[in-house]
Structure formats: C-alpha cells, structure tokens
Structure 1
C-alpha cells in the first residue's frame, strides 16, 4: 500500500495502479459510501444495506482494507466491524502516459459516475412524490464553455470551496441543521473531443 498523500482540498491522493484498480468494482463503491458517515459496520450489515451476500461483502471489504480504504473497527463481542479511514475523499491521480494506471483511473471514475447516475435516476423516479420544497431545491445543470486548463482547475477549486462548509456534517450529526437531508452533488469538467 502506498504512503498516503493529501491533495490541497484534504482528499487522499491515490496514484498506485493496484490501489486505483481496487475502486473499479461497483460494490466497492457502494461499500465505501456506507462508511462515509463514520459508522462501523459488519459484513452482515453491509450485505443488508446493499442487497449483496455476506460472503461477497466480506471479500470486497477485505480488498478495500488491503488498499487502505477501510480498516477494522473495535470488536463488539464476536462481531468484527469495519470502518472508513476518516478521509475527506479520494483523488485519483495517474499520468496519461502510464497507460495501465490511467486505464484504472478511467475505470474507477466510470464506476463512481455510474453509481452517482443510478442514484440520480432513483431520485428522478420518486421526485414527484417528494416534498415539493425539496424537489424545487434540487438542481441539475448542464452547460458548455471554453476554458484553459488553469481556468478548469480554478473552477474545481471554487466548487470544492462552495461545498467545504458542509463536509463536517458526515462525521458529526450535531452539526446538521434541523430538517437537513443527505444531499449528493455530481460535478465534472472535461474537454469535448468533438470540438
């Protein structure tokens, strides 16, 4: 396992190919998400939350621990729970010239994106039945523009700064305002290969 390095926004930088590949499985993406709130969960609890088998969850939890994404929690009698590594997030970093590592970044990014799109589609399916205040507060935007690499990096930094005040609310429920809900945000910038 590589030594942890931190990005300027506090996320863990992952650049080792095998560590990146560990994030390409859809169940592993869902498992990592379960631990974002600081909970300690057993493989059985993970299986109940994901609809997967205990054996499958156990295997994938061990793989995530092998690459430093999870660790063992405090034993509770015979139960052996897992917990997240208390990181703000993960930044995948590979040079495009390193084809194997870059392919792993693409595969992991696709797995995260597919999970996010599935969750967004699940929200779309029930949005009409939700509280209208929440439905109207939700936003989906798509835009195009011309920018330099420096401007794209600055935009990413500004988005991170906008979400900064909300980050501690996962770990400390007492910081959540009355009536707050778990909200997801998907933001991506990329250059259009057809332009």
Structure 2
C-alpha cells in the first residue's frame, strides 16, 4: 500500500480527532480487512456507528473498500499504515487540527498502554520479561535530541515492514506496539543556576 495516500489538509487531520476512528484504524490495520459488523463486534460499538466513522475515514482517504467476498457487506482496508499528523505548511487551521488529532491519538495510545498493563500479570513469563517502559529527563542540545530521535526511529522501523508483509512474520510472533516520544520543555522564565537546576529524572518499569 502507498504511504500517506490521503490528502494532507486541515479537514483530513480533523477527521482523526475522534477516539473511535483510531480504534478503527488499529483494528482494520491489524486484520488487514474488516467490515463494519466485525468492527462493531470487536469494539463493542453499534454497526451504524462503525459504518459512519469508517465512511468518514474513507472520505478523507484513510481507508478504502477492499474487494468483497461472499455476503453483502463490504470490508474496509487501510490506504496506508502511516498517518502524518504534522500541520506544518497548512497554516493556523492546519496547526490547530494537527494539535487536536495528535492529542486524541496520544489519549488512544495511553488507553492502549493502560489496558495492556492491566493484563500484564496474565502474560507468560517470557512476554512479561520482554516488555518495558522507561523515561528520562535530562539536558540535550537540539542536535543531540535529533540524534536520539533518529536512533529511536531506526529501531521502530527495523520491524515495521511486518505490518504489511505478513509473510515476514516468524512463528511465535504476536502483535507488539512499539511507541516512543521525545519532547522539549518550554524555556524557563528565569534561567536556573547550576546549583538550583533540577536533577535528571529516570522512570523505569516492567509492566507496560
């Protein structure tokens, strides 16, 4: 599938500012094709609601109808496994739409992490030991932060092809979410001295 087939504009970004639409994108991507009925069964929503939101996603090019098999209901598939949430170059309206879409996406991401955390103890030992979450607050230059971001991006891309090349998935593999984020704090109102500057903080855990 081509990358980012949908048009990049404020209205398309606004279409992603809805939590159910991210759930639909995840489900359709995971199953490759899914009908509104299948989405409703899996997500606990009505068929009418899933059908409506799938059509909105289709309107802005995020999903499309797949070749149908037996039955009257047509399945949907993603047009791309990548969604660009940047509002760069789209003016003020685009930047606001990008912010709204990104905030809903992050809420969706956090909800998924919490749900998997709640069932972490039920996983076999080899899967419990394989997952982790970690965070560190430190001080970097813009170039250093760019280097860190690039390194994390390289790790995520190493296995990303399996999202579309299902033949590359080895036996015993399960769906895994790899998510990373880097951010920069706003400048302080007054520059802290070396003695009063906050110490770097590290958060590490094995339950997410």
TM-score (norm 1): 0.85
Between Structure 1 and Structure 2, whose CA radius of gyration is higher?
2
* Deviation readout 1:102-132 (Å, 9 max, x if unpaired): 2211111111111111111111111122112
Rounded to whole Å, the distance in 2 between the matches of 1:161 and 1:26 is 28
Moved over 4 A (4+): 10-14
Rounded to whole Å, the distance in 2 between the matches of 1:39 and 1:191 is 36
CA contact 2:85–2:98 (8 Å) conserved in 1: yes
Q: CA RMSD in A?
A: 2.3
Across the two proteins, how many residue pairs are aligned to each other?
Answer: 186
Q: Select 1:24's aligned residue among 14, 17, 25.
A: 17
Q: 1:12 to 1:74 in 2, by over 3 A?
A: closer
Which residue in the other structure is 1:3 paired with?
A: none
- Give 3-state SS (helix, strand or coil) of 2:119's partner: helix
Which residue in the other structure is 2:60 paired with?
A: 67
CA contact 2:36–2:47 (8 Å) conserved in 1: yes
Which residue in the other structure is 1:80 paired with?
A: 74
Q: 1:137 to 1:12 in 2, by over 3 A?
A: farther
Report 1:107-146 matches (<5 A): 107-146=100-139
1:13, distance to aligned residue in structure 2 (A): 8.3
- Give 3-state SS (helix, strand or coil) of 1:142's partner: strand
- Mark the runs of 5 or more structure 1 residues left unpaired by the alignment: 1-5
Of 149-158 and 67-76, the range deviating more from structure 2: 149-158
